[in-house]
Amino acid sequence: MAKIGIMPEEDEDLGPAMEALSPSQRAFVRIYLDGTGKSAAESAKLAGYGTENSTSAIYAAIAMRLKSSKKIRAAMAEEFQNLAPTMAAKAAKALNDILTTAGHKDKAKVALALYERIAPTVQKIDIDVTHRVDHEAEAMNHLRSLKALGVARDRLVEVFGEFGLQRREKLLALETPKQTPVDVEFSEVEEEIIRIEDL
């Protein structure tokens, strides 16, 4: 059965990756990248793969196999580098057409995207974290804890020093008011039940 498709003309200045491909593989790469084929399957068909009786499923399978090839992926990357300058010019023309067409639905999106490229928005976040430690409060809490545990005075002197312990004990005494014991007498009261009927 005869192959179908169109074969692009050969280039003399091929890169090493494109040179490593067969003519059909080169055609697939070019057709796929320049957009002649609307899909990879159509690009495979236009590059001469398949036969007159090949179905769309067969072309999709051929395209998948081609795109999975390391050699073809390398050639695509190489060709894309060659196409980039002309694609940039086409992209600039397309952007210009969108921006100069009154009422174009994508005009605001394109304008914003271009503005962000030209003068990007800069967000500045200034965070200042200051951690303050009240050493005196920490020492007082430590003294309270040690006293609650019943630590001996000579050990407290080792931790706080004689003068420091005396000073902190005075502060501790000032903040905890002395509770004077209250003498209370209790007496039992007999319970008397009053019925509503008795009233």
Fold of the domain spanning 16-83: Arc Repressor Mutant, subunit A (1.10.10)
Do residues 23 and 10 touch, judged by C-beta distance below 8 A? yes
pLDDT value at 111 more than 50: yes
Kindly indicate the confidence band of residue 81, based on its pLDDT and cuts at 50, 70 and 90: confident
Q: How far is the C-alpha of 44 from the C-alpha of 59, rounded, in Å?
A: 7
pLDDT value at 190 more than 80: no
Q: What is the pLDDT of residue 3?
A: 47
pLDDT value at 4 more than 70: no
Chain centre to alpha carbon of residue 162: 56
pLDDT value at 83 more than 50: yes
User: pTM above the 0.75 mark?
Assistant: no
CATH 1.10.10 range(s) for the chain read: 16-83
* Per-residue pLDDT reduced to its tens digit, 90-107: 788 888 888 888 888 988
Q: What's the mean per-residue pLDDT of the chain?
A: 83
Kindly indicate the confidence band of residue 60, based on its pLDDT and cuts at 50, 70 and 90: very high
Query: Nearest-CA neighbor of 2 among 57, 51, 37?
Result: 51
- Quote the DSSP letter at residue 9: P
Can you tell me the mean pLDDT for 113-135?
82
Q: What is the pLDDT of residue 2?
A: 42
